[in-house]
Amino acid sequence: MALIIGTLYRPEILELIRDPIERATWIDSLAVAAAAFARYKAGIPVSQIAEELGRSEATVRSHLNQKTKAGKLVAETYEKIKRGELKLAVPFIKAVAASAEEEVRVLRSEVERLRERNRVLESQISDLRRELEKLRNQLNAKESETMSIKDEMERLIKERDDMRKKIEEIISEVKQAKEVILEGLKIIDRVTTAS
């Protein structure tokens, strides 16, 4: 027990397990390495250790031969305990537990803050959707109005063209009538001059 606790609370390990993603991996590796090391020092064969821990013999040997970082750290902790350099204090463990509780409290607070932020964002998205729908309706109304104006303009242009054609016809008729009148006046003038 001292081997795993002593290794777990080394400053570099505490730093490594601050990351929640890495925490489970490190704790598992250190627990396996510490258990393998303690059993090996107690004279238990590697095959039995592997069976008891539910790991392959290769994994157990890697930890025991310090080929893994967890194996090296556990071996260093063992040497410190053997030399009397490492003393474990229960208040330290309580402090770490309190720190973990504080971390959980902070994480819960952060989750609640994020939930509230999510609610605000969802409300804003809902408002924006309503505004977008309103703008779409206005755009559709403007498009309908534009189509009506276009139809009216086309009608007026056709009406103008028809009027222009009629005016040209009237002008042509007036010219013809003028020519007839002038011709008639000439005839009258000749008749009156001849008499």
C-alpha to C-alpha distance for 131 and 124, rounded to whole angstroms: 10
Determine the residue type at 72.
K
**Each residue of 44-92: pLDDT tens digit?**
999 999 999 999 999 999 989 999 988 898 888 888 888 877 666 554 5
In a 13 Å sphere around the CA of 180, the CA atoms on its Cβ side amount to 6
Q: Positive or negative, the Cα torsion across 47, 1, 42, 12?
A: positive
For all residues of the chain together, what is the average pLDDT?
86
- In this structure, the chain runs to a length of 195
Say what the pLDDT of residue 97 is: 55
Mean pLDDT by 10 residues, the chain (195 residues): 69 75 81 90 92 92 90 85 70 56 84 94 96 96 94 95 94 92 87 77
